[in-house]
Amino acid sequence: MDALALGADGDPFSFLGMHAKGQGVVVRVLRPRAERVWVVEARDPRIAIPLERVHPAGIFAREFPLTPPFAYRIRESSGGAEWDADDAYRFGPVLGATDAWLIAEGSHRRLWEALGAHVTTHEGVTGTRFAVWAPNARRVSVVGDFNAWDGRVHPMRFRAECGVWEIFLPFDLHGEAYKFELTGPSGGVLPLRSDPLARQAEVRPQNASIVAEPSHFVWSDEIWQATRAERAAAAAPMAIYEVHLGSWRRKGLRGEEFFTYRDSAETLLPYVRELGFTHVELLPVMEHPFDGSWGYQTTGLFAPTSRFGSPDDFRYFVDRAHAEGLGVILDWVPGHFPTDAHGLGNFDGTHLYEHADPRKGFHFEWGTFAYNHGRREVANFLIASALYWLREFHADGLRVDAVSSLIYLDYERGPGQWLPNERGGNENLEATAFLRELNAIVHVEVEGATTVAEESTSWPGVTAAPEEGGLGFDYKWNMGWMNDTLRLFKRDPFYRGYHLEEMTFGLTYAFDERFILPFSHDEVVHLKGSLLGRMRGNDEQRFASLRTMYAYLYAHPGKKLLFMGAEFAQEGEWAETRSLDWHQLEEPLRRGVFNLIGDLNAFYRATPALYADDDSWDGFAWLVCDDRRHLVEAFTRTDPASGEALTVVVNLSGNEYPLYALDVPQAGRYREVLNTDAERYGGRNRGNLGTVEAVELPGGGTRLELYVPPQSVLWLAPETSEAPE
C-alpha cells in the first residue's frame, strides 16, 4: 500500500481490484481524492457496500467472506458529488498474444493498432485502452484530466513478454488529453511523456497526446488507387510541387492564422492542378513542437499535426488531391528526433529509441538524437510509421529526409564524435539494413507506393534493389546536379564559358540512379536568397536567366521538383512565418514565369521523350556540349517507343545569334514548340517565326540554321509531331 501511495508499485493488478482471499474475496481500490467509496452490485446498483479507508493515501478495501467473485462497479463521493464507474482493475489484459509476440519480435506491421490509445469494447464494456512500450520502466501510469494527472490513480499492467505496459479504462475518452508518467529503473519519476503511437496531439505549445476519435472518413479515391502503380512507374511523368502548408497561404487580418487541411484542399490543390504538376510534396505534417523546424524535428510519427486540423481533415486533403489527379508525397524523418522532454529521448529512463553512446546516438550539429536502427523494436516502430501514412492516409509516397545522416557514421561529426563500424569503416551497417528492409516491405505491402531518398553523396545503388545490394529507393534527389546548375546560373553570363563543366558534368552520372532534379526549400533559406535572387543583371536579364534555368530543368533527364513560390519568381527568401508574396504574381515578368511553368508542365506531361527514358543514354544525346565561344549547349531527348525526338538548344550567353548552325539527326521542318523569350513568358518574342528548316549538307549530315535569343531555351520538334494540348 505504501508503494502504491508513492506511485512506486510496478504490479498494481496483483493488489487492486477483486482477488480471492481465504474462502472469499477482497476488493481494493485507490481513490486519492475520494471521501467515501462503495462496491456496487453491477446487476442491482441499489446494493452498495461501503469500503473502509485502509491507507491515508486513499486506498479503500473490504473483504467479502464465503462469496464467489461477482460483477461490480465502484461508487465514489467527493465534495458533495457522487458517481458510479467500472473499476479498471477488474479487467483482464487487452493486448493479444499475437500482438505481444510480434512486438517482441519487432515485426508488427500494424503497430498503431496494438499500441497507443484506442476507444474500444473490452469484456462487454466500452472504454479506452492504452498501451506503451517501455520495457525498462519500474512503473508506468496513464494520466489526464480524467484522473487529475495523478500518476497514482491508474498504474498500468506490465507485459514482460514484450516490454509493454497496458490498461483498459472503462470509459470513453476520445478527445481527451493524456500522457504517460514513468518511473525509471533508478526509481526516479521521469518528465511526463507523450505517447509515441499517439494518432493525434494537442496544438503547440501544448504537447499532450489526444485519444483520437475513430475515423469516420469515407474515401472516394478507388479509381486513383487502382491506377496508382501505373502513375508511379519510372516511365511516367513526375513533376512535384513542394509545399510547406503553414506558409503557402495564410488567413486572418495579419496573416496570423494557418490554412486548415480543408482550406488547403480547396485552394492549394486546384492551383497545383491548374499549373500542371503531377504531385504535391508536403514538408513533414507529422506532429512537431517547433514551427521553425518546418516539421523535420518530429515528436509524433503517427499523428498529423493538429496545427491544421484533425486526422480526418488530413484524409480529406489527400482524397481531394487524388480527385484533382495529384499524387501526395510526404516528407518523413526516420533518422533523428528532438530532445524535447515529452518526446522519445531517454524514454523509459534508458536510451530506448536512441543509441546510448552519443557518438552513435546524437547529432552534435543538429542537437538531436539519432534512432538506434539496429534495435528491432525501433526499426519496427519506424517501418510501422511509414506503413501507417501510406495505408491510413493513402499517401502515395514518402521522401526520406537526410538519408546521408543515416548511412554514414561520421556524417556532420568531427574527430572523436563517431565510432567506426565492425569493419573499421564509416558506413552505418544497421541503418543501411533498416533502409533496405523499409523499402522492401513498403513495395510489397503498398502497391504503387514511391520512396524517395534525399541523399547528397555518391553512395552507390541508392535506387538499386535490395537484393542487388542497393538501398531500394525508387528515386534519389540529384543534389549534385542542383548545386552545379545553381552555381552556373549564378555566374555572370560573360564568365559562364569558363565553367561549362557545371552543366555537362552531371551527365557523366545522370543514369547511375533514378533521379529527381530538385529546386527545393533548402535552396531558398538560410540567407541563400530566392532562385531569382541568384541571377545577375537587370530585371530583364535576371528573369531571362531564370526562365532559361527552368526550361533546362524540364529538358534534362530526371523527374522534376520545384518549391512553392518559385513558380512566380518570388523575390524574397522563403520564411515559414508568413505567406508567400502573392501580390508579386500580378507583376508582368513574374506572371510570365508563372505562364512558363504551366506550359513546361503541360508539354512535359504530353511529351514522352521528356520522361519515358530518364535513366539511360538511349533517351539522351548531345548535339553540342563544348561551345565555349557562343555558350550554347544542345541535345536531344528521344521517346524509346515512338522514336520521336525533341531538340533542346540552351543559350547561356547574353548574346543573340541570328544564324546559329546546329547539326541535327534528321532533315525537314522543325516547329519551335517552346521559346523562353516569348512575350507570354516576359520576353521580347525573338525567335524563328514558328518553324525552321533542316537541310542536308552536300558532304552528308543535316543542319539547322536558327535564330537563338540571348539567355534562352528553344525546344524544337519535327513538324510531324503533334503539339501538346
- Active-site residue numbers? 401, 454
- Please state, in angstroms and rounded to a whole number, the distance separating the CA atoms of residues 366 and 247: 23
With cell 510501422, the residue in question is 384
Name the H helices within 90-192: 97-105, 111-114
What's the chain's length in residues?
Answer: 725
With cell 458510479, the residue in question is 84
Q: What angle do CA 195, 196, 200 make, to 5 degrees?
A: 65
CA distances from 212 to 7, 77, 172, 375, 496 (A): 27, 30, 11, 28, 57
Burial 423-456 (b: 16+ CB within 10 A, else e): eeeeebebbbebbbbbbebbbeebebbbbbbbbb
Name the H helices within 165-302: 222-231, 261-275
- Please state, in angstroms and rounded to a whole number, the distance separating the CA atoms of residues 616 and 639: 12
Choose among 629, 624, 685, 614: nearest CA to 649. 624
Cβ atoms of 641 and 682 closer than 8 Å: no
Q: What is the DSSP annotation of 549-595?
A: HHHHHHHSSSEEEEETTGGGT-SSPP-TTS---GGGGGSHHHHHHHH
Choose among 143, 278, 133, 155: nearest CA to 208. 143
Q: Which of 373-379's residues contact partners 24+ apart within 8 Å by CB, and which partners? A: 373/406, 373/428, 373/430, 373/431, 373/433, 373/434, 374/430, 374/433, 374/434, 375/106, 376/105, 376/106, 376/107, 377/103, 377/106, 377/133, 377/163, 378/352, 378/353, 379/106, 379/434, 379/437
Choose among 356, 391, 395, 355: nearest CA to 373. 355
- Please state, in angstroms and rounded to a whole number, the distance separating the CA atoms of residues 476 and 329: 14
- Please state, in angstroms and rounded to a whole number, the distance separating the CA atoms of residues 251 and 266: 14
**Grid cell at residue 725:** 494540348
- Please state, in angstroms and rounded to a whole number, the distance separating the CA atoms of residues 561 and 535: 19
* Residue at 311: amino acid letter: P
Q: What is the DSSP annotation of 497-542?
A: GGGTHHHHGGGGTTTTS-EEEEE-GGGGSTT---TGGG--SSHHHH
**Grid cell at residue 202:** 494537442
Q: Residue 200: count other Cβ atoms within 10 Å of its Cβ.
A: 24
With cell 488507387, the residue in question is 225
* 19 exposure class (CB count in 10 Å sphere: 0-12, 13-18, 19+): middle
Q: Residue 494: count other Cβ atoms within 10 Å of its Cβ.
A: 12
Starting at the edge strand found earlier in the chain, the sheet holding 712-718 runs 620-627, 632-638, 645-651, 712-718, 668-675, 691-696, 702-708, 657-663
Beta bridge partners of 53: 60
The CA-based diameter of the chain, rounded to the nearest angstrom, is: 116
Choose among 471, 470, 503: nearest CA to 485. 503
- Please state, in angstroms and rounded to a whole number, the distance separating the CA atoms of residues 553 and 648: 11
CA distances from 575 to 165, 281, 579 (A): 42, 18, 8
Cβ atoms of 460 and 476 closer than 8 Å: no
